[in-house]
Amino acid sequence: MPTELSGPPPPNRHPLKSTFHSLALSGVFLASVGCHRDAPTAMQMPPPDVTVAPPEQRDLVEREELSTRLDAVESVEIRPRVSGYLAEIRFQAGQRVRKGDVLFVIDSRPFQATLQRAEGDLAQSRARNEWSKRDEQRAANLLAQKTISSEEADQRRTHLQESAGALAAAEAAVASARLNLEYSQVRSPVDGLVSRALVTVGNNISGVDGFTTLLATIVSVDPIYGYSNVDERNFVRLQSLRGQSGLPTNAAGRIEVTLAVPGAGKLSRVGTVESFDNHVDPATGSILLRTVFPNPDGDLLPGLFTRIQLPVSARHPVLLVPEAALGTDQSQRFLLVLSKTNTVEYRTVKPGRAVDGKRVIVEGLKADDLVVVNGGGLARVRPGMPVKPQREAAAAPMNAGAVSDAR
């Protein structure tokens, strides 16, 4: 028979339920402990350090950047004035020549012979004229003595006039022959760069009007013109500003412009506005501007496309902030500004032109505002967040009277 135990029966406990109950209590305990550990940490996190600075104040002149095509002030086609055999070429292609330099030589022997013949005719005409003068004087004396008739005296006077006319014609023939001999040397009419010779030695070239032979071309290089299209808005602004002291001008009172060739800083030039065209193109709404630039070394060539900076405002004060401080929120730009309570304030602004890595702020910012320029990464700073501001080190002051240009 089985042995019976005395005492009260043990409680009815299920082992699996007991395990779940223990795990649940452990989870509640751990969560409670975790919450108590994190709460003091979040409350004790210090505000982030940010660098703040007031906007930079400058006086500047706004400039409009325009595409510009360069062209020569003078462009000449070299053509002969006399016909003949081309005997010599005295230049190299692309050479810089001076006004009066001999470029081509035409065989001059025919012209020399023509000149000698004309000079011989001139000598005969002078002799006949001298004889006619003496004969006319004798006739005048004889007529006074009534030893010859008036008719004979008139004939001798007529012979004198005819010889004088023949002398003038002979003199003109000599001048023409001498001029043709001079034209046998084709000279440069301007200073500039000469092209390659378009005709080689040995060819017979024509100097007949309407059928002249093109020998070469020359373009002047110093100074050089620039042609740009200016829209109506900037043209009207510039016209209204003419005569104001704020525009950059040279000693002669002409508006100064700056030329730059992309990728070639050494080709930068400072020139002046030479003229505007006499009408606005209705198809494009722009007017043609001609500028002039010094080019003593000849590095700028006609036909080159460059860019110029045209002043379109008088000198005026502006506020500038670092480009990196500007943020973009959909279609608007904003700055983070420090409030009086050392919190970050969201400020919508209207930016202007870029100047030396900074941006002009046209609207939305005051000179005494402090802009957040670096917060250990501005992405960590949010509007309304308390921060620990530190003033940015002051930049070196600009030279007195220096003027920046907004482009």
What are the pLDDT digits (tens) for 56-74? 998 888 888 899 999 999 9
pLDDT at 312: 85
pLDDT at 24: 42
Per-residue tokens: 142: 């004889």
Q: Which residue, 60, 72, 28, 16, is CA-closest to 304?
A: 72
Q: Are 107 and 180 in contact (CB under 8 A)?
A: no
Confidence of residue 1 (pLDDT cuts 50, 70, 90): very low
Mean per-residue pLDDT for 283-312? Answer: 92
- Is the pLDDT score of 111 beyond 80? yes
Confidence of residue 349 (pLDDT cuts 50, 70, 90): very high
pLDDT at 378: 62
Least confident among 43-47, 293-297, 306-310: 43-47
Alpha helices in 80-198 (DSSP H): 109-144, 150-183
H or E stretch at 321: strand 316-322
pLDDT at 400: 36
Mean of pLDDT over the chain: 83
Residue boundaries of the structural domains of the chain: 49-58+317-394+401-406, 64-73+221-311, 76-106+186-219, 108-183
Mean per-residue pLDDT for 148-175? Answer: 92
- Pairing, β 49-53 against β 388-391: parallel
- Cross-sheet strand order for the sheet of 75-78: 75-78, 216-219, 192-194, 96-97
pLDDT at 60: 85
Confidence of residue 33 (pLDDT cuts 50, 70, 90): very low
> 328 vs 244, which has greater pLDDT?
328
Mean per-residue pLDDT for 311-332? Answer: 86
- Is the pLDDT score of 340 beyond 80? yes
- Is the pLDDT score of 20 beyond 60? no
User: Which CATH architecture group holds 76-106+186-219?
Assistant: Beta Barrel (2.40)
Mean per-residue pLDDT for 371-381? Answer: 71
| Amino acid at site 351 | P
Confidence of residue 42 (pLDDT cuts 50, 70, 90): very low
Confidence of residue 377 (pLDDT cuts 50, 70, 90): low
Distance from C-alpha of 254 to C-alpha of 271, rounded to nearest angstrom = 9
Distance from C-alpha of 345 to C-alpha of 338, rounded to nearest angstrom = 6
pLDDT at 199: 96
Distance from C-alpha of 314 to C-alpha of 71, rounded to nearest angstrom = 29
- Pairing, β 102-106 against β 216-219: unpaired
- Is the pLDDT score of 123 beyond 90? yes
- Cross-sheet strand order for the sheet of 102-106: 185-187, 102-106, 84-89, 204-205
Out of 3.40.50.1820, 2.40.420.20, 3.30.470.20, 3.40.50.280, the CATH code matching 49-58+317-394+401-406 is 2.40.420.20
SS3 assignment, position 398: coil
Mean per-residue pLDDT for 249-256? Answer: 83
Q: Which residue, 328, 332, 318, is CA-closest to 406?
A: 318
Q: Are 142 and 148 in contact (CB under 8 A)?
A: yes
Question: What is the pTM assigned to this prediction?
Answer: 0.67
pLDDT at 159: 92
Q: What share of the chain is helix, strand, coil (3-state, %, to 5)?
A: 30, 35, 35
H or E stretch at 241: helix 232-241
Confidence of residue 243 (pLDDT cuts 50, 70, 90): low
Q: Which residues pair with 350 in a beta bridge?
A: 363
Mean per-residue pLDDT for 50-61? Answer: 88
Q: Which residues pair with 319 in a beta bridge?
A: 57, 361
Distance from C-alpha of 154 to C-alpha of 152, rounded to nearest angstrom = 5
Please name the residue that has the structure tokens 């050494």: 266
pLDDT at 245: 64
Instruction: Please tell us whether the domain made up of 108-183 is placed in CATH 3.10.180.
Output: no
Considering only CA atoms, give the Rg of the chain: 47
> 47 vs 294, which has greater pLDDT?
294
Q: 64-73+221-311, which class in CATH?
A: mainly beta
Q: pLDDT by residue (tens digit) across 356-369?
A: 888 899 899 999 99
**Percent of the chain at pLDDT exceeding 90:** 51
pLDDT at 184: 96
- Is the pLDDT score of 210 beyond 60? yes
> 389 vs 176, which has greater pLDDT?
176
